[in-house]
Amino acid sequence: MRFRPLQAPLRRRSALRSALPLAAALVAPAALVLGAAHAGDLKARVAGYEALRPQALASAVASNSHAFTWRLFDRLVAEKYTALSADPEKDVTVAVYGEGPHRFGLEARIRLAGGRATPATVVVPAGVPITFVNDDPFLHTLISGDLKRDLKPGETHKITPKGKGLLTFTDSQAPGVKAFVVIEDGVIMNLAPGRDGAVKFAEAPAGSYVFKAFFEGNAKATSPTLEVKQPAGLEVKDPLVVGTLPSAAPSASASAASK
């Protein structure tokens, strides 16, 4: 009787030890499936955007002499902060093409704030709604073809492109606002480059992909087809050059290389 309280835990431990191999056998296939679902990160870099000059900002300077005077001619402000060059985070869009469903969710958004549109270009397949959001404290008047829509602060306007092509949107209230909507087949997502021009498609499923860099609605650079198979992922070796590079050396065409 004295030993019975000790025997029950021993039996439970013995049963637990015998169950561990079975549990491991059941979990192992699930782990293999999860590991195969995400092949790795797909990375690229955009270069040459410093040489791009957004037309909307240039026209704003031309149409309103006070719009950027404090930035352009104040000697206390460094030139690199006053030059009207493209901002990679706002003006350059990298569209990812591949098989499978798109990753835009319910819509793609263009934010009107700071007297400009962000992102300036969106690239979507037909049927994905585009929502314009006025985050400025003043009125925006969105114009495109027959469309003329006033957006008060906080208001939104949604469109759903049907066919392929390019739509351009301007703003009669703010000449610095210009947005481009590109409708193409095969687009699954858009990426915004960082300040260093880097973009990343995190945990890209195994498959074939193409990166295409856009500026003001036009494709400026295209990567080769990228085959994601390895868990380590892939990185485009040469940059997607969208404008003139600072150095005079010609750039090689974009190519893919394993990490």
| 72-98: pLDDT as tens digits | 445 565 655 556 788 999 999 999 999
Residue 159 covered by a domain: yes
Measured CA to CA in angstroms, residue 15 lies from 22, 25, 189 at distances of: 11, 16, 50
Average pLDDT of every residue of the chain: 79
Residue 18 covered by a domain: no
Q: Is the pLDDT of residue 69 over 60?
A: no
pTM: 0.74
In which domain, by residue range, is 193 found?
40-254
Domain at 130, CATH number: 2.60.40.420
Residue 1 covered by a domain: no
Q: How far apart are CA 159 and CA 18, in angstroms?
A: 61
Residue 99 covered by a domain: yes
Q: What is the pLDDT of residue 62?
A: 61
Residue 216 covered by a domain: yes
Residue 3 covered by a domain: no
Residue 15 covered by a domain: no
Q: How far apart are CA 175 and CA 60, in angstroms?
A: 5
Q: How many domains does the chain have?
A: 1
Residue 108 covered by a domain: yes
